[in-house]
Amino acid sequence: MNKRAKKKVEKRRRALVHQILDVVLDINGTGCRKKEYTGNMPTAFFEFSGHTSGVRIEIYGDGWGDDDQSEEEKFSSDGYLCREWSVEYVLAKARAEAAALREKGVIL
């Protein structure tokens, strides 16, 4: 792969990560989202693992708290940037989950 093609692939991968992070920020905003502060507002987590180029999101539809690790209201998905289709899948699932939360009226 030549230098130009590598840059193009890198740019596309970064764009996917940014889009996923945007969905997480649409759900959370930039403030603290623990249940003790926001009640049952949805809470989203974003994780990037540089050693595997992995991306993971978790969305707790009923909020998140240290003592409340309920799996019932939890959505999670992960993918690897070396497999671009898997990250596109994560993005699509995250957008769908955010849309469902918007439909319920719990996020803007």
Q: For residues 104 and 108, what is the distance between their CA atoms, to the nearest angstrom?
A: 10
Residues 6+ apart with CB under 8 A from 92: none
Predicted local confidence at residue 41, as pLDDT: 85
Which tokens hold the place of 2?
Answer: 């030549």
CA distance 47 to 34: 17
Cα–Cα distance for residue pair 93/54, rounded to 1 Å: 16
Q: Provide the pLDDT confidence category of residue 70 given band limits of 50, 70 and 90.
A: low
Residue-wise pLDDT tens digits, 75-99: 888 888 888 888 899 999 999 999 9
How many angstroms separate the CA atoms of 3 and 1, rounded?
A: 7
Q: What is the pLDDT of residue 71?
A: 59
Question: For position 19, what pLDDT does the model report?
Answer: 95
pTM attached to this predicted model: 0.83
